[in-house]
Amino acid sequence: MKWLAAALAVAVILLQYRVWVSADGVREVARLQHAVTAQRAENEQLAERNRQLAAEVRDLKTGMDALEERARSDLGMIAHNETFYQVVPARPSDAGGSAAPTRTAAAR
């Protein structure tokens, strides 16, 4: 009977060792919990980005202001009653000379 108790004690000690010290034990659980926390934070950031994109899509589908803003910023479009001027900075070699400012593009 003593040998059975000793065998069970050894088995319990080996199992406890495996739980606390081995790579698949408590350290792995802590690492996985940290990874889950990091993934949840990233998911929240992506969910916020998705909400912003959904709001932008809604604005583009329903309102002309958002569509006009997108056309101006991304495509460089202008309205019929506007004039577009593009200012080109002087080249470094022309900086010492008397370079007159030029109007490079105009549309009406």
- Domain assignment of residue 90, yes or no: no
- Domain assignment of residue 74, yes or no: yes
Gap between the Cα atoms of 105 and 82, Å rounded:
12
Share of the chain above pLDDT 70, in %: 86
Gap between the Cα atoms of 19 and 27, Å rounded:
9
Q: Is the pTM of this model over 0.85?
A: no
- Domain assignment of residue 39, yes or no: yes
Gap between the Cα atoms of 35 and 22, Å rounded:
19
- Domain assignment of residue 43, yes or no: yes
**Percentages of the chain per state (helix, strand, coil), in multiples of 5:** 65, 0, 35
Residue 43 has a pLDDT of 98
- Domain assignment of residue 13, yes or no: yes
- Domain assignment of residue 58, yes or no: yes
Q: Give the domain extent around 17.
A: 2-78
- Report residue 49 CA to chain centroid gap: 8
In this predicted model, what pLDDT tens digit does every residue of 47-79 receive, in sequence order? 999 999 999 888 878 878 877 887 888 888 888
Structural domain total, the chain: 1
